Amino acid sequence: MGTQEMMKLYYGWIFPYRDFYKWLAYGNDSKLPQADAGFMQRREFCFTLDGDIFDLDGLQAAIKERCPSKLDIGPVYNINPARRAAYAGSGQTFTPVERELVFDIDLTDYDDVRTCGSGGHICNKCWPLMAVAIQILDAGLRRDFGFQHILYVYSGRRGVHAWVCDDRARCLSDEQRTAVANYFAVYRGQEGGLARLALGLEEHPAVTRAAAILEPVFVERLLPEQGLLSDDKRQEALLAYIPSERVRERARQRWAQGEAGDDVARWHALEEEVAKEQATLAKARDTRGAKALDRAMRSVVFAHAYPRLDLEVSKKMNHLLKAPFCVHPKTGKVCVPIDPERAHKFDPETVVTVGRLLDQLNKARGGVKGSDAGEEWRSTDLVPAIQTFRACFLDGLQGACRESLAARARESAAQPTLVW
């Protein structure tokens, strides 16, 4: 079966249109008086949507007709994007007015610290980098910014997307989005073989919290699975962060003598040498030197494990991002939601593919077409992904949207009527 035929069948029978539409409508598909009937009509997708009314049926028909190899979502504009040419010269500006705050994390940005592969490679050895990024981003967005409705999605190949969907997140200006993105920009790239990190690490509560999340993952997963201290070259790359030559030399001697036999043991040996040096510096009342060693050890962890965000994706309201539940054209994998509480349990190597879903669908219906296109995912392995989407995101979001629209209706009803 060719790729185009597979896409036609997937988008014709399995793609979860109802849940997808419920999310993007944000309650505007309801009959509440404050619902905006034209809301979805003004949403930009990566392919043109025809017609005056864009409802669930219109969304389903448009996707099925085009069978896109990639489906991207953009902002909601002040006018229908399909009609923007008609407004040219009218004086009305074509402007995005609402868009989810989005984040993109890609494993290719970790190629200098992962040893299991590079480029499009992804496996259970490097997935902890994505899982811990979800943990840190989720903690910051919820605790520091107060956002509640956040959807995490496996990109289908080598990364993770985050969609922050609270009312106030969707209405942030480009300047405000930039400020939120920069809040998480501790990692600033490489310079002279070392990571550039925006620190006070020991001072800011968000960084202290991140360190508590990162350090166990670094020691228990990344050190042994990526072999970060497994040979001389990698050892020297890590020791370059340590400002004391005495500590570096003592660590080298212990590692060379085989006293510390594996990567985790080598790390603990380095910690011991740092602690000894700090005790010596404390006796000499060199608090600055002792703090520099603390900072260096934490810098190693952050350099290897802190989230490396594609900041440009987050800064602009009009940036397109791949839709959840679409199929990645290079891997055939479905872009499935991730439970942030179980991100470390997620296995990118077993994510459902469009081929597997179509096989399951064919077996379930015995070659006979079903009666409810767009709902036949119920007979496939897409079921857990839909359940995660609902339980971790959609159910809570819908409740908030209904309450928001009801509150607007109450406010409108409470406004005094002017009598002339």
Confidence category of residue 46, pLDDT binned at 50, 70, 90: confident
Q: Say if residue 124's pLDDT is above 90.
A: yes
- Our measurement of the distance from residue 249's CA atom to the centroid of its chain's CA atoms, rounded to an integer in Å, reads 40
Res 257: pLDDT = 87
Between CA 207 and CA 371 the distance in angstroms is: 53
Between CA 105 and CA 160 the distance in angstroms is: 5
Q: Which domain holds residue 161?
A: 3-105+150-169+317-414
Number of domains in the chain: 2
Res 57: pLDDT = 81
- The answer to whether residues 191 and 277 belong to one domain is yes
DSSP per residue over 33-84, as a string?
TT--TTTGGGEEESS---SS---HHHHHHHHHHH--S--EEEEEESS-GGGG
Confidence category of residue 343, pLDDT binned at 50, 70, 90: very high
Between CA 230 and CA 243 the distance in angstroms is: 21
Cβ-Cβ contacts under 8 Å for 339 (sequence gap 6 or more): 152, 346, 388, 391, 392
- pLDDT (tens digit per residue) in 360-419: 999 987 754 544 556 789 999 999 999 999 999 999 999 999 998 888 777 777 766 555
| Boundary (domain end) residue, out of 305, 330, 365 | 305
For residues 33 and 243, which has the higher predicted lDDT (pLDDT)? 243
- pLDDT (tens digit per residue) in 254-299: 999 876 679 999 999 999 999 999 999 999 999 999 999 999 999 9
Burial of 369 (0-12, 13-18, 19+ CB in 10 A): exposed
Assigned domain for 311 exists: no
Tokens (6 digits) for 36 = 């905006």
Q: Say if residue 117's pLDDT is above 60.
A: yes
- The answer to whether residues 96 and 192 belong to one domain is no
- The answer to whether residues 154 and 21 belong to one domain is yes
Cβ-Cβ contacts under 8 Å for 144 (sequence gap 6 or more): 183, 206
- pLDDT (tens digit per residue) in 18-30: 999 999 999 998 7
Assigned domain for 124 exists: no
Q: Are 191 and 240 in contact (CB under 8 A)?
A: no
Query: Around Cβ 364, how many Cβ atoms within 10 Å?
Result: 13
Q: Say if residue 166's pLDDT is above 70.
A: yes
CATH of the domain at 378: 3.90.920.10
Between CA 187 and CA 174 the distance in angstroms is: 21
* Closest alpha carbon to 125 in 348, 397, 341: 348
Q: Mean pLDDT for the chain?
A: 89
Q: Are 241 and 293 in contact (CB under 8 A)?
A: no
Query: Around Cβ 36, how many Cβ atoms within 10 Å?
Result: 15
DSSP per residue over 284-343, as a string?
TT-HHHHHHHHHHHHHHHHHHHS--B-HHHHH-TT--EEPTTPBPTTT-BB--EE-GGGG
- The answer to whether residues 297 and 321 belong to one domain is no
- The answer to whether residues 35 and 101 belong to one domain is yes
Distances (CA, A) of 418 to 409, 413, 415: 18, 13, 9
Res 52: pLDDT = 43
- The answer to whether residues 271 and 410 belong to one domain is no
Between CA 146 and CA 127 the distance in angstroms is: 27
- The answer to whether residues 220 and 360 belong to one domain is no
| Boundary (domain end) residue, out of 279, 305, 331 | 305
Distances (CA, A) of 198 to 85, 184, 189, 195, 299: 44, 10, 10, 10, 10
Assigned domain for 218 exists: yes
Residues noted as catalytic: 44, 104, 106
- The answer to whether residues 328 and 391 belong to one domain is yes
* Closest alpha carbon to 321 in 162, 185, 96: 162
DSSP per residue over 180-218, as a string?
HHHHT--EEEEETTEEEE---TTT-HHHHHHHHHHHHHI
Assigned domain for 130 exists: no
- pLDDT (tens digit per residue) in 301-339: 999 999 999 999 999 999 999 999 999 989 999 999 999
- The answer to whether residues 360 and 323 belong to one domain is yes
- The answer to whether residues 395 and 355 belong to one domain is yes
- The answer to whether residues 292 and 380 belong to one domain is no
- The answer to whether residues 203 and 291 belong to one domain is yes
- pLDDT (tens digit per residue) in 217-245: 999 999 999 999 999 999 999 999 999 99
Element (H, E) at 153: strand 150-154
Cβ-Cβ contacts under 8 Å for 113 (sequence gap 6 or more): 226, 228, 303, 304
